[in-house]
Structure 1
Amino acid sequence: MPANQLAVVTGASTGIGLELAKCCAEDGFNLVIAANEPAIQQAAAELRNSGASVEAVEADLATIEGVDKLCAAVGDRPIDALLANAGVGLGNAFLDQDFGRIRRVIDTNITGTLYLIHRAGNEMLRRNAGRILITGSIAGFMPGSFQAVYNGTKAFLDSFSFALREELRDSGITVTCLMPGATETEFFRRADMMDTKVGTEEKDDAHEVAKAGFDAMLRGESDVVTGMKNKLQTTLANVTPNEVLARQHRKMAEPGTAKQ
């Protein structure tokens, strides 16, 4: 890889985002990493210990202002790889959820993500070069009973990723969608889902998920579903009625389904 290439990674303070940033650092990218919490500074320090050049931006990527702050930190440097990973979840029944938190899921997962991709993508288009990795989810393949808004946002991202890739097919820009299943991160605790089956059962390793996504991005692939179990689940979802999928999801995500 040419020297001094820049990767921008969002949601990089913990979990898949931090592991994606580590993959970038190991591959020689300079980094601008962002998250909406002070832990992004600790993540930057950890990455710098590996010898990487890292700039950390604490910004609320659910807002236009937060994305603008990140873009201002990047300045006029060309973005060679954008890893749009920032996202939040929300458990419990839709009508029991606080609408402010519902709105935040939508603004983080969709609005902020699309605004960042629009800004970075236009810069890439001017150079006719760049890579975009979008963290979708296998959750986008099924109606998410007791996780309805989150799954809906991931269905949007999964679909958007393939559409954008087709629009850019004849350009020098690649778009890759990383679609993991349940992964060992802070996600389920933050989404108030530690009393559910999916929140308490064994999950995939965040580093392995990130490495699969990163490698797929470098190869310019359209998408990657991580883990054999998840691949099987998405295949079955394509031929299973949505009503059945919603009922199955309830068994995983309804409060009180955690193993005693």
Structure 2
Amino acid sequence: MAEDARWAVITGASSGIGAELARIFAARGYSLVITARRHERLEALAGDIQETHRIPVEVMALDLEDREAPQDLVEMLRDRGIHAHTLVNNAGFGLRGTFATLPFERQVAMIDLNVTALTALCRLMLPGMLERGRGGILNVASTAAFQAGPHMAVYYATKAYVLSLSEALHEEAKPRGVTVTALCPGPTESEFSATADLENSKLFNRSVMSAAEVARIGIDGYEAGRAIVITGASNRLGALGAKFLPRAVIRKIAGSLQRGEVTKRAGEANEQA
């Protein structure tokens, strides 16, 4: 593998924001490593990108809910002589429903993927970036990170963790020439939203962005060295409100938006897929 290649390693790349991130990084000259569970989708995406952009694309099908998977991914990169210039932690899923009734095992799995796997990949890849003095990490959080989320309690909590970790790592890595950015999208047209039945919630009566637009804004912000990128004016306004309004008000609003028209059905959305 060429030493000067800029490799972007993208998790949860088989659909939605992850697939669009892959396409845009490719259009900007990055070589790609794409990983997710669905091998056939990854191969199809890789073929499309290679035909369009003529850049190397490596497919590594993994289930990042497995505690060993982050280390496995790093070893696969090492075996192929790939040094990650950019790590994109996009894999994650959400559960919609009340905390006391959603399956215990799936809530723990959500923490394993959204928090533990992301943290492990940051810890495993960041030292090499710091040593080389270039590159960075783009962590996909959410506007959910700015407040508590009744009816999606654990999902909101995991995204708050992602935002907090990313901000801290941004300050640690910046003096060494490495960028860490948290991308915080709001409602986005993707499998994530459709599968979780979020499109029937009040949240989706507000402005919804395309996955391609979210990905472009996120990469622009990352390449500009920003710590936090919130997509869209209405989402930035909502994050500002979460900062200044009483928390009791904010959590009631969040709960009302998530409850929507379907309160008895639990939905799951998976960006790792």
TM-score by structure 1 length? Answer: 0.93
Aligned to 1:64: 67
Q: Which moved more, 1:205-214 or 1:44-53?
A: 44-53
1:21-170 pair list within 5 angstroms: 21-38=22-39, 39-50=41-52, 51-75=54-78, 76-170=81-175
Counterpart AA for 1:232: L
Spell out the pairing of 1:210-229 with structure 2 (5 A cutoff). 210-229=215-234
Write the deviation string for residues 99-136 of structure 1: whole angstroms up to 9, x where unpaired.
11101111111000010111110121222222211111
Report how far residue 68 of structure 1 moved: 2.3
In the alignment, the residues of structure 2 paired with residue 16 and residue 229 of structure 1 have an alpha-carbon distance, to the nearest angstrom, of: 19
Contact 1:81 / 1:132 at 8 angstroms: preserved in 2? Answer: yes
Which blocks of at least 5 consecutive residues in structure 2 are unaligned?
Answer: 264-273
Which residue is equivalent to 1:243? 248
Distance across 1 between alignment mates of 2:60 and 2:156? 27
My pick for the range that moved more, 196-205 or 39-48, is: 196-205
Q: Distance in 2 between matches of 1:64 and 1:200?
A: 37
Q: Secondary structure at the match of 1:16?
A: helix
Of the structure 1 ranges 134-143 and 45-54, higher mean CA displacement relative to structure 2 is found in 45-54
Which blocks of at least 5 consecutive residues in structure 1 are unaligned?
Answer: none
The aligned amino acid for 2:73 is L
State the 1:208 CA deviation. Answer: 0.8
Counterpart Cα distance in 2 of 1:102 and 1:43: 29
User: What is the deviation of 1:193?
Assistant: 3.8
Structure with the larger RCO, 1 or 2 (CA within 8 Å, 6+ apart): 2
The aligned amino acid for 1:60 is D
1:199: how far off? 5.4
- Counterpart of 1:4 in structure 2 is 5
Contact 1:158 1:177 in 2 (8 A): yes
Equivalent position SS for 1:82: strand
Determine what percentage of the aligned residue pairs are the same residue: 35
Tell me the secondary structure at the aligned position of residue 256 of structure 1. coil
Secondary structure, in 3 states, of the residue corresponding to 1:143? coil
Could you tell me whether the CA contact under 8 Å between 2:203 and 2:260 is conserved in 1?
no
Q: Secondary structure at the match of 2:181?
A: strand
Cα distance change of structure 1 residues 205 and 194 upon mapping to structure 2, 3 Å threshold: closer
**TM-score, length-normalised on structure 2?**
0.88
1:243 Cα deviation (Å)? 1.5
